[in-house]
Amino acid sequence: MDRGQLVPDELTINLVKDRLQNEDCEDGFLLDGFPRTVKQAEALDSFLNENGNSIDVALLIDVPFSFILERMTGRRVCTDCGASFHIKFNPPKIGGKCDLCGGNLMQRKDDCEDTVNERLDVYEKQTQPLIEYYKNGNILKTVDGARTIELVFDDIRSLLGAVSK
């Protein structure tokens, strides 16, 4: 992960399968950062189909690569509680300190510029094909992610609200 590479498919798929069998997933679940490859998506679909379930929505938060670079390299994470901030878009009240617990903020290694560029390459090759995969399944919904956190959040909430009703 530090080099911007993906965790192997088999490992990830098994972790997710295990997690989805917990009681708190019975009424539904939201996956963030999985699947990242078509192979993972196919494994997820067949696992769910075996249990008479399926994915309702695949959410694409569409953001130009230049925005992603700025967002990721500006991200700072609390070393104590894991809360996430951004030096430009969501700055902490006191520089370098967590608003929630006062812990120190640091840049994760996978948010450094070289690693982000590598991650974007990996995304293009391995994850981008998922857009076509879910388009073909007629469950792809796209949200314009190049806006404020509040607007993107509102869009996502109304999209998911429409689904859960």
Q: Please give the residues from 76 up to 135 whose contact with Zn ion meets the rule CB under 5 A.
A: 78, 80-81, 83, 98, 100-101, 103
Of the candidate spans 50-58, 59-67, 73-81, 154-162, the one that interacts with Zn ion by CB under 5 A turns out to be 73-81
**Bridge pairing between strands 75-78 and 105-106:** antiparallel
Half-sphere exposure of 37 (CA within 13 A, CB side): 15
CB of 85 vs Zn ion, minimal distance in Å: 9
**Shortest CB 128 distance to Zn ion, Å:** 33
**Residue 16 in contact with residue 34, Cβ under 8 Å?**
yes
Give me the least distance between CB of 92 and Zn ion, in Å please. Answer: 9
Q: Cα-flanking dihedrals φ and ψ of residue 118, to 5°?
A: -65, -40
Q: Which of the stretches 48-56, 70-78, 104-112, 157-165 binds Zn ion when contact is defined by CB under 5 A? A: 70-78
Classify burial at 88, counting beta carbons within 10 Å of its beta carbon; exposed 0-12, middle 13-18, buried 19 or more. exposed
User: What residue has token string 């812990």?
Assistant: 103
Residues 29-58 that bind Zn ion (CB under 5 A): none
How far is Cα 156 from Cα 60, in angstroms, rounded to an integer?
A: 10
Would you give the distance in Å from CA 152 to the centre of its chain?
A: 14
Nearer to Zn ion, 68 or 91 (CB): 91
User: C-beta of 105: minimal distance to Zn ion in Å?
Assistant: 8
Q: How far is the CB of 73 from Zn ion (least distance, A)?
A: 20
Task: Give the binding site for Zn ion (CB under 5 A).
Answer: 78, 80-81, 83, 98, 100-101, 103
